[in-house]
């Protein structure tokens, strides 16, 4: 999955409109025009991956903006940028969606069940840990795809 896939799938799952996406990017500190958004929302083929227009920083800015959009801004709290390598993207994505939607670990397990993907509580806590901790486990694309699939079922009532 490339960064555009995260954005495209999350947009569908949460039923976000273009104007909301632009507002969310702005809340995260990224100025995105309608034209740029149209490029970001274009599904890329595997051969186009090197030309991907959405960087890790932009994706994380969007996720930070989503937290502010859903939960409100907190005074004296600056958004964090912790996507350091490609192994951490899935973990950070799941953590920030958890924060934005005010999900508990039980809620996340239920979301995985809606996607018919079995995850144990121990696996989930390993994914939600900070990178570098003893029991930290990098989440694969399969975790993230099924998490978004479960969000789609939950929020779109499919």
Q: Average the pLDDT over 1-30 and give the result.
A: 91
Measured N-to-C along each axis, helices 121-128 and 105-114 cross at an angle, to the nearest 10 degrees, of: 120
Helical H runs in 41-140? 56-71, 89-100, 105-114, 121-128
Give the count of domains, the chain: 1
pLDDT over threshold 70, residue 56: yes
Q: What is the structure's pLDDT at 151?
A: 95
pTM of the model: 0.87
Q: What is the structure's pLDDT at 54?
A: 84
* Secondary-structure percent of the chain, ordered helix, strand, coil, rounded to 5: 60, 0, 40
Which domain does 13 fall in, by range? 3-156
């Amino acid at each position: 999955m490339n960064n555009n896939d995260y954005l495209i799938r999350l947009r569908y799952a949460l039923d976000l409109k273009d104007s909301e996406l632009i507002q969310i990017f702005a809340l995260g500190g990224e100025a995105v025009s309608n034209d740029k958004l149209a490029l970001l929302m274009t599904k890329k083929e595997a051969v186009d991956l090197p030309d991907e227009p959405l960087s890790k920083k932009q994706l994380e800015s969007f996720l930070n903006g989503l937290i502010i959009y859903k939960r409100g801004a907190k005074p004296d709290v600056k958004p964090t940028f912790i996507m350091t390598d490609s192994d951490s993207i899935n973990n950070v994505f799941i953590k920030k969606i958890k924060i934005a939607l005010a999900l508990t670990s039980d809620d996340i397990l239920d979301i995985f069940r809606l996607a018919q993907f079995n995850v144990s509580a121990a696996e989930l806590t390993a994914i939600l840990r900070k990178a570098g901790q003893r029991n930290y486990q990098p989440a694969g694309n399969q975790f993230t795809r099924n998490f978004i699939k479960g969000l789609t079922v939950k929020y779109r009532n499919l």
